[in-house]
Structure 1
Amino acid sequence: MPKQIKSILILGGGTAGWLTANHLGYLLRKSDSSDIRVTVVESSDIPTIGVGEGTVPAIRHSLKKFGIKERDLLSHCQATFKQGIKFEDWLRDPKDIGPHYYYHPFDYPDVKSIDLTGYWLRTEGKKRSFADYVSLQSRMCDRNLSPKVFGQGEYEGAASYAYHLDATKFTELLAKNAVERFSVKRLDHRVVDVRLAQDGTIHSLKTDSGDELSADFYVDCSGFSSRLLGQSLAVPIVEKKKVLFADSALAVQVPYTGLEESLPSVTIAKARPAGWMWDIALQNRRGTGYVYSSEFCSDDAAESDFRLLLDDPKGELALRKISMTVGYRKKFWVGNCAAIGLAQGFVEPLEATGLLMFDASAALLAELLPGDSADLNSAAQQFNSVMANAWDRVIDFIKLHYCLSARNDTDFWRMNRDPESIPESLAELLARWKRRVPCHVDFPNSYDVFSLENYLYVLYGMEYPTDLTGQGSRYLESQRVVDRLIQRDAQLDMLLGKLPKHREFLCEMMAFDNVNRMFRT
């Protein structure tokens, strides 16, 4: 018989589990459903992956909604500001033409009042980069500036931004907030068995202490193992290894040699012969990783190249190997169980896809979760449809970075340009954009996590050859464009004079915060 959903059990803590707990806790509190109990069951002896250290600007909305203070985030998580991604050597082999880079900043171009893209393609393509032409932020990033000025409010900036943060400490902050603000219950148990009901839904979880935990709804945040949705409910993975070849990673935390070093406010993604390396600057260390394809590169070769980049010839840094299953579940919600995080799916962490999908899918789950079990199947159908499309579009966007490359130095890069490896949906878009500039009509789904502005930065950072021959009548506002650029350059000059260096802002903020705490009564 249908019954009200009064209890929700989240299996697995980690970033995915505690983001979900906060989204559910917030929504249930706002809807006066305080009698609904949310419990997180996690095991302290099961380590988390802990390498998802880059975010996108949407995370600011979630954190503000949860009631987490930005100062606490920056202080507790050793966080820094992230204003975008700097892609190094993705276009060509640096041995052929020297180093090349482009930015995907978070300061999105204003394509509604006047789209500068066509004007750049017609007149400016060889004079300055696309990001410099349409955005202020790339030049802010070149100078390692903060996106905030002193005295600016929490979650407010002179430009859009996200964060780099310590993933383990971020999880701790989320857990503390969920428990204290939203009364989420926290249990430390290892689940040893899952019992199913006669109708195939989840009935209860048996723990190593002999307890049997039951709930009206379950959220699987158990990581790659997908203990509930994958194992118990037997939902298979839709593999995408023939599209995205990177299936392995090495990760390590690197200490600073001194705080006099400049502090980048971008994630650096450096292309390598069979993959790429990420480099994320926190306040107290760097978080680095080397993503590669085991089909085109051995573990030893990857380690050797990674250590070369890290200037670690003696092998003193302890690298951690992570094997990755590329793809997503055929369904994300079955009966009384939905999966969030790695239990749901995974593609390489380019463009901060991990935390982006964790946060977006947890927010959607909270919105769609019904109050009565009679509506579970309807909600599941909608959730599955939205998330399948979201994952396919994420995969298209990640593939875009590879298939536009002109690198010809290894089979890895050559195979990424093979038409057989490019999804049909992406191939159709690229064919359209050969003869016209991308526009919002190309992105009709409001739940796409990467949209027009994201594609523009990558397409034209990678010098995509859109041919606008015969379209001159569309670009007759040259004087308006010149006026816009003059106005924007003046705005940039003003910002460059006001914005502090990234490390300077963080150091002063921390010092001010420490003084306030000393005198707080």
Structure 2
Amino acid sequence: MADKQNIKRIVIVGGGTAGWLAACHLAKKLEPFKDSTISITLVDSPDIPTIGVGEGTVPVMKDTLRYFGISEAEFVQKCDVSFKQSIKFVDWEVAPNKGQSSFYHHIFDFPKLTPVDVTPYWLLDKTLGQTHFADLVSVQSHACALGVGPKRPNDKEYTGIFNYAYHLDAGKFTQLLSQHAIENLGVKNVKANVVDVHTNKQNFISHLTTDLPSTLTADIFVDCTGFKALLIEQALGGEFLSKKEVLLTDTAFAIQVPYDHPEQTIPPFTISTAQENGWIWDIGLQSRRGVGYVFSSKHQSDDDALQTLSDYLKRPLTYSDVRKIKMKVGYQKRAWVNNCVAMGLSQGFVEPLEATGLLMFDVTARVFANMLPAHTENMALSAKRFNQDICQMWESTCDFIKLHYYLSKRDDSEFWKDNRNSASLSDELKEKLEVWKYKIPSQFDFRYTIDSFRLDNFLYVLYGMNFPTNLSHEASKYTDVDKLNKLKYEIDQGVLFCKKHLQPHRTLLEHICRHGMAKG
């Protein structure tokens, strides 16, 4: 950038969920309504449909919506929202045997570690170890089994008995974010197609030309153009780091499935069912299910993949019934280059096993909004720090997703055998797994506060999949049966509370849609 100046003008290119999340985060931080010299403009094409990736979220989204000032009741009513308390992983540990499936829950409540940490007892006691790990450290997995919502009808917005996230209609969610950004946060919207990206001698973006007569100039540009990465890669030559040798799934078939009848039960969790060459998500919204098959094109043809999804849904499918999504798995080596920052799919993407799409879109947008300097003089330093943090976030996310595959004992296909090859693990994950062979993970094993998945997430996956931490060398330390029985009693009392005070999930959603929620 030739001249040092205050950063006042921001142009976001691309109007999908990522673009409008970025717009809301930037507007919330910079407050253009209060400062007329601040300008945040989002330009999106009226001709290009968005991918609409992601119908599942993690609990961070609850905090984000509250921060934006969006009513939770309005969100539930307008975006076909249901509550998500867990991911139920079916057949991930072992392949189904004679029609018998196995499962575990990755719930959202923190593990209950008082009055005693049940983890070592669970590992040492074969009888206790036959119980699902999540069932011993939280009431939430029991609530999922009961099919109840995470809050009572009179609970205030963004509060509940359990921690929770959402399932949502991505298209309707984008509409809600755009309306809120424009009407309440002061974001300007231009409907146009970007024709060319112009750079100066220092390789900074100077302006954009569109199919409208006017041009778009800014101090900083945000690339939300999806996998094509129009600004960060095509204009500025950014480098994309592929993770396809680590995360093997690269294609998805998605379909919207109507309910069999209007009162059909809505599970308060995502269902992820492993297949021979990938896995199927099954998400219940208020009005329909969102179902998709994520698979490796190296291990399975499109025809066979379509048949896998057909078998799951127990109905014949043709290619016209599904939407095919080719996934560009990896991330930008530098998400912030000069005066351009990539967000959303332009920045990176890994498969949506743990709702990673919307999570990364949301978190990285908030990080950027808070690291954006007031003056161009500090832009290079801010970019350096941002890129270091975002690379770490992507690497740790890849490790966490890889963990699910590597811990599996499935050997019913080359896909699973390839995933279980230790050569595909990062050094960081290898070292952690080696340490955890003889030690339960602790908070001190996670060095970076910016990582999206930390101790509790790893505990649920490691011991949901029966990772064999050997504690025989310190078994004598874990003999406090009274405290263990007290914990079991507290869990049992919590289950009784759920049965008495929490409504079936669909009933709760219908109540909110009719009557709203109490304001916080």
Q: Same fold (TM over 0.5)?
A: yes
Distance of 2:477 and 2:71 partners within structure 1? 47
Q: CA RMSD in A?
A: 1.8
Partner of 1:360: 363
| Aligned residues of 1:269 and 1:279 also touching (Cα < 8 A) | yes
Residue among 247, 254, 276 paired with 2:257: 254
Q: 1:491 to 1:56 in 2, by over 3 A?
A: same
Pairwise CA distance, 1:285: 0.6
Pairwise CA distance, 1:471: 1.2
Distance of 2:98 and 2:442 partners within structure 1? 34
Partner of 2:60: 58
Distance of 1:70 and 1:314 partners within structure 2? 36
Residue among 326, 331, 337 paired with 1:328: 331
Partner of 2:27: 25
Q: Please give the secondary structure, in 2, of the residue aligned with 1:235.
A: coil
Pairwise CA distance, 1:273: 0.7
Pairwise CA distance, 1:255: 1.1
| Aligned residues of 1:28 and 1:34 also touching (Cα < 8 A) | no
Pairwise CA distance, 1:31: 11
Q: 1:295 to 1:125 in 2, by over 3 A?
A: farther
Residue among 93, 96, 99 paired with 2:95: 93
Pairwise CA distance, 1:477: 3.8
Partner of 2:74: 72
Pairwise CA distance, 1:28: 1.2
Distance of 1:503 and 1:483 partners within structure 2? 33
1:151 aligns with 2:154: yes
Pairwise CA distance, 1:421: 1.1
Pairwise CA distance, 1:97: 7.7
| Aligned residues of 2:407 and 2:465 also touching (Cα < 8 A) | yes
| Aligned residues of 2:31 and 2:186 also touching (Cα < 8 A) | no
Pairwise CA distance, 1:475: 2.7
CA deviation map 1:360-387 (0-9, x unaligned) = 0000000000000001001001100000
Pairwise CA distance, 1:135: 1.0
Within 5 Å, which residues of 2 pair with 1:78-477? 78-95=80-97, 98-111=100-113, 114-123=116-125, 125-313=128-316, 315=318, 318-477=321-480
Q: 1:113 to 1:446 in 2, by over 3 A?
A: farther
Partner of 2:48: 46
Structure 2 unaligned segments of length 5 or more: list them. Answer: none
Q: Please give the secondary structure, in 2, of the residue aligned with 1:238.
A: strand
AA at the equivalent of 2:244: K
Q: Please give the secondary structure, in 2, of the residue aligned with 1:95.
A: coil
Greater Cα shift, 170-179 or 23-32: 23-32
Distance of 2:418 and 2:140 partners within structure 1? 33
Distance of 1:448 and 1:31 partners within structure 2? 33
Pairwise CA distance, 1:488: 2.9
How many aligned positions are there?
515
Pairwise CA distance, 1:318: 1.3
Distance of 2:243 and 2:327 partners within structure 1? 11
Q: 1:31 to 1:78 in 2, by over 3 A?
A: closer
Q: Please give the secondary structure, in 2, of the residue aligned with 1:157.
A: coil
Pairwise CA distance, 1:105: 0.5
Pairwise CA distance, 1:314: 5.5
Partner of 1:519: none
| Aligned residues of 1:252 and 1:317 also touching (Cα < 8 A) | no
1:505 aligns with 2:508: yes
AA at the equivalent of 1:221: C
Distance of 2:113 and 2:183 partners within structure 1? 42
Distance of 1:31 and 1:182 partners within structure 2? 7
TM-score, normalised via structure 1 length: 0.96
1:12 aligns with 2:25: no
Q: Please give the secondary structure, in 2, of the residue aligned with 1:446.
A: coil
Q: 1:479 to 1:430 in 2, by over 3 A?
A: same
Q: 1:181 to 1:314 in 2, by over 3 A?
A: closer
Q: Please give the secondary structure, in 2, of the residue aligned with 1:396.
A: helix
Structure 1 unaligned segments of length 5 or more: list them. Answer: 517-521
CA deviation map 1:157-178 (0-9, x unaligned) = 1101010000000000000111
CA deviation map 1:429-464 (0-9, x unaligned) = 111111110000111211110000000000011111
Pairwise CA distance, 1:198: 1.2
Pairwise CA distance, 1:478: 3.5
Residue among 492, 497, 505 paired with 1:494: 497
| Aligned residues of 2:118 and 2:137 also touching (Cα < 8 A) | yes
Identical amino acids, percent of aligned pairs: 44
Q: 1:314 to 1:300 in 2, by over 3 A?
A: closer
Distance of 2:510 and 2:100 partners within structure 1? 35
Q: Please give the secondary structure, in 1, of the residue aligned with 2:268.
A: coil
CA deviation map 1:381-440 (0-9, x unaligned) = 110000000000000000000000111110000111111111111111111111110000
AA at the equivalent of 2:460: Y
Q: 1:469 to 1:32 in 2, by over 3 A?
A: farther
| Aligned residues of 1:75 and 1:510 also touching (Cα < 8 A) | yes
TM-score, normalised via structure 2 length: 0.96
